[in-house]
Amino acid sequence: MQVTWLLNSDWCKRNLGKRILQRHRGKGGLQYRAPSKGRFAVVGYPFLSSDETFEAKVINIVHERGREYPLAQVDIAGKRFYIPAVLGTTVGGTIQIGPQATVASGNILPLTNIPEGTSVCNIERYKGDGGRLVRNAGGAATLFANSPSGSVVRLPSGKSITLPPGCRASVGVVSGSGRTEKPFLRAGPRFHLKKSKGKMYPRMRGIAMAAVYHPFGGGRHQHPGKSTSTSRNAPPGRKVGLIAPRKTGRKRLRSEVVSR
């Protein structure tokens, strides 16, 4: 009982310090999670039991808190669902969903039915998951090749992946690409954007902190004092800086490497 009293006493809180911010956030408390308020829909393709081609109507284009891109509210046979609005989507317009749909902007088809070289977005990672890849504002991938074993898609990062047959995708580019062209003139709008996504803002440099608050803190010369590369298996509180980097240092051109 005496030990419990000491651990819960004000003296303990004043003199034993507290967890550093990185470790506290790693706990996953409610104050660091993206709030559910303002979220009203599950975004994804509808599950269709048959292989028929349906025509759906775009009822509205809405904004959901924390999302970079607008959502299109679509009605198909009395059922409504939400998908990322593709560039060119209009209220009152129609989109086709199914293997026999025409290859036009906004239509949803299996990758095997889309010609090679077409720009696609909101791609399913596995058949029927509703779309998981390339959903950011202005994002688009390129269908590189189709084969019986699957479809090869080149992502915006340049990486190519092979997806199993039957995965669906939307033809076109996700709308909202001009969002980043408008700067944040004040800290308030950026604060609310980060808060809606559950991200930390503002961020303080680790070298500007005291040693008790960050592994890079302490000292007068604003220097980490140790390597900034951190293991992937580092414990919470030490997992800061460059986490499991592939390479560090200054980038050099191939000509410089060959000359040496």
Residue indicated by tokens 């025409």: 102
Residue 256 confidence (pLDDT): 58
Interval 206-219 mean pLDDT = 88
Whole-model pTM?
0.76
pLDDT tens sequence across 151-200: 999 999 999 999 998 899 999 999 999 888 999 999 999 999 998 888 88
Residue 12 confidence (pLDDT): 56
Quote the CA–CA distance of 60 and 67 in Å, as a whole number. Answer: 16
Burial of 107 (0-12, 13-18, 19+ CB in 10 A): buried
Quote the CA–CA distance of 107 and 98 in Å, as a whole number. Answer: 8
Phi, psi of 108 (to 5 degrees): -115, 120
Distances (CA, A) of 236 to 39, 116, 183: 30, 45, 34
DSSP 225-252: SS-SEE-TTPPTTT--SEES-S--S---
Q: Tokens in use for 19?
A: 């967890």
Question: Which domains are present in the chain?
Answer: 19-34+198-245 (4.10.950.10), 54-175 (2.30.30.30)
Phi-psi region of 40 (alpha: psi -120 to 50; beta: other; left: phi over 0): alpha
